[in-house]
Amino acid sequence: MSLADATKHFFEQAAAGLDLEPGVRQLLETPQREVMVQVPVVKDDGTLEVYLGFRVQHNDARGPFKGGVRFHPSVDLDEVRGLAALMTWKCAAVNIPYGGGKGGIAVDPFTLNKRELKQMTRTFISKIFPFLGEKIDVPAPDVNTNAEVMGWIVDKANELAHDDVRGVVTGKPIELGGSVGRTEATGRGVALTTLRLLKYLGQDPAKMKVAVQGFGNNGSYTAYYLSQAGCRIVAVSDISGGFGDDNGLDIPAMMEYCKTSDKHLLAGYPDASPISNEQLLEGDVDILIPAALENQITADNADRIKASIVVEAANAPTTPEGDKILAERNIKVVPDILANAGGVTVSYFEWVQNLQSFYWDEDTVNTHLTNIMHNAFDDIWNLAKERNLSLRTAAYTIAIERVVKAMKLKGMLL
């Protein structure tokens, strides 16, 4: 099942319990706008390559479209469509004033040098600029895009707007209006939701064994903050392989190792035993945190997962079939639209700071982040209890109700 179909499936699962008219459902199942553009790049060897770029704007009833831009060969309209819808539900689930959007270019960015990458980014932005704006659609980093790319985007947007429109994109370098705490925000948010769940379940973090798949931005900070809270991180992995230690891995040392290792990967880390991806996912742990890719927990492996808690740090790591098996086995799943919302929440803070030209310190950012994540978790937990729903269906239910209410108040559904 594609990511767009999986997102639609989870939407429909929650919508089934709500009294939505068919026309309203149709509005929410389809994006408001899809843009597809050619992105020509003249390479240094003189050849012309033409890539396809996409921006999908799913829903803006609650505020400007918000969502990352990814550079990856697998990007296509369907994937971007699914991720855009996921952003609408994520922003509404944690109650920040944004709609959902997503963008991307179908390209392997590692085949381009920096000048070519910069030209591609700037051309893409000039093609979709009519649809962007600080109060219209605000992109951010995603897979294979980072603060540097956001810097190129803001420069091109300023040029086209003849203005300083730095709030048109988030995830910028601090020097260009980025927010302190944004780099750590997604992992910090994943840790906050995990610890909130443990509190509700009456479980002691110090007794928890945790496995984290993916040791990039999200996974490494998730592992770090959970280890700081006393959890024992017994397995982590990245594309180069996994490492385990039943006594607990030294996460700060592993993060330090990746700063200087080949391609910033864990390969060759000397102080833990190598493990396979299967061993990581199916190992003897209390909490499993997929923080890398889509479609990791599926019909093929969900019945072998030993963790009693799965926290979805990645977007869409569990397929609908895998989710059904986890539910049948009473495994608690903290859904992606709640667990990884810390990133977009601090992007929202960055945008607020840009619009006000007034910058917060790290304590202020982290206090607001904690409040938003805790309030969102509590609302979703309470609804799940009250209506006997999974946390995912409760999160979607709250999100859908908020979006529909905004559409009604705007008179869009009359």
Active site residues: 102
Contact between residue 281 and residue 296 where contact means Cβ atoms under 8 Å apart: yes
Out of 84, 223, 292, 372, the only residue in the binding site for ligand NAD (CB under 6 A) is: 292
Spell out, one character per residue from 4 to 43, where the chain touches ligand NAD: x when CB under 6 A holds, - when not: ----------------------------------------
Contact between residue 164 and residue 176 where contact means Cβ atoms under 8 Å apart: no
Nearest to 196 by CA among 56, 374, 329: 374
Residue 266 CB, nearest distance to ligand NAD (Å)? 8
Q: How many residues bind ligand NAD (CB under 6 A)?
A: 21
Q: Which of residues 141-180 bind ligand NAD (CB under 6 A)?
A: 143
- Asked if 343 touches ligand NAD (CB under 6 A), the answer is yes
Contact between residue 96 and residue 120 where contact means Cβ atoms under 8 Å apart: no
Residue 243 CB, nearest distance to ligand NAD (Å)? 11
Instruction: Report phi then psi at 46, rounded to 5.
Output: 95, -10
Complex with ligand NAD: residue 145 or 390, whichever CB lies closer = 145
Stretch that binds ligand NAD, among 119-127, 194-202, 310-318, 382-390 (CB under 6 A): 310-318
> Alpha-carbon distance 30 to 58, whole Å?
7
Contacts of 243 (CB under 8 A, 6+ apart): 235, 236, 237, 249, 254, 266, 269, 272, 273, 274, 275
Out of 216, 283, 320, 322, the only residue in the binding site for ligand NAD (CB under 6 A) is: 216
> Alpha-carbon distance 185 to 341, whole Å?
9
Out of 340, 345, 366, 390, the only residue in the binding site for ligand NAD (CB under 6 A) is: 340
Out of 123, 213, 345, 366, the only residue in the binding site for ligand NAD (CB under 6 A) is: 213
Contacts of 223 (CB under 8 A, 6+ apart): 187, 210, 212, 215, 233, 236, 249, 251, 254, 289
Complex with ligand NAD: residue 53 or 214, whichever CB lies closer = 214
Exposed, middle or buried, 113 (CB in 10 Å: 0-12/13-18/19+)?
exposed
Q: Which of residues 221-280 bind ligand NAD (CB under 6 A)?
A: 237-239, 277
Residue 127 CB, nearest distance to ligand NAD (Å)? 23
- Asked if 315 touches ligand NAD (CB under 6 A), the answer is yes
Stretch that binds ligand NAD, among 48-56, 209-217, 300-308, 392-400 (CB under 6 A): 209-217
Strand 209-213, strand 287-290: pairing: parallel
Contact between residue 68 and residue 145 where contact means Cβ atoms under 8 Å apart: yes
Summarize as ranges the residues that interact with ligand NAD (CB under 6 A): 143, 186, 213-219, 237-239, 277, 291-293, 313-315, 340, 343
